[in-house]
Amino acid sequence: MIAPLIQGLKLTLRYFFSKKITLQYPDEKWDVAPRWRGRHVLTKHASGKIKCVACMLCATVCPAECIKIEGAAEPDNRKYPEKYTIDLGRCIFCGYCVEVCPRDAIEMSTAYELSEYSREALILDKEQLMEPPQPRYVSQKKAG
């Protein structure tokens, strides 16, 4: 009758003194792999112009149909996206848009903190997508 109690206590004490594997989020952040598919980012040339030429391939290949593009043309006939939106609420983060882009105009960052209080905040426009994602919370280590 006491043997099962001692056996259970032995197991509890073994795990009590072992190394902890739990992260204390948000104070401790998870180190993601470089190939992690997080928030989308539209890239620019060194001149500051967007690389996207509004070919619509990313919107065509998207299985979730979360990418909407309205193209326009400059006076020199170069196409660019006048409006470019991605609905992160619908996105399944498959990465097809990145793979199909002929100009490497869209990338997926390693940002994983994408929660918002409204669905409208998950719809990112061209200006938001051109800015790299910022960390949402500053890590604060406790002294001691």
Q: Across-strand partners of 106?
A: 42
Q: Which residues contribute to the annotated binding site?
A: 52, 55, 58, 62, 91, 94, 97, 101
- Residue 98 in domain: yes
Give the pLDDT confidence of 112-129 residue by residue, as tens digits.
999 999 999 999 999 999
- Residue 11 in domain: no
Give the pLDDT confidence of 78-109 residue by residue, as tens digits.
999 999 999 999 999 999 999 999 999 999 99
* Cα separation, 141 vs 137, whole angstroms: 12
- Residue 15 in domain: no
- Residue 29 in domain: yes
**What CATH number does the domain containing 47 carry?**
3.30.70.3270
Q: What would the DSSP string read from start to end of 24-81?
A: -TTTS-----TT---SEEE-B-TTS-B------HHHHH-TT--EEEEEEE-TTS-EEE
Give the pLDDT confidence of 43-81 residue by residue, as tens digits.
999 999 999 999 999 999 999 999 999 999 999 999 999
pTM of the predicted model as reported, rounded to 2 decimal places? 0.78
The domain tally of the chain equals 1
- Residue 17 in domain: no
Residue 137 has pLDDT above 70, yes or no: no
Mean of the per-residue pLDDT values for the chain?
91
Q: Which residues contribute to the annotated binding site for [4Fe-4S] cluster?
A: 52, 55, 58, 62, 91, 94, 97, 101
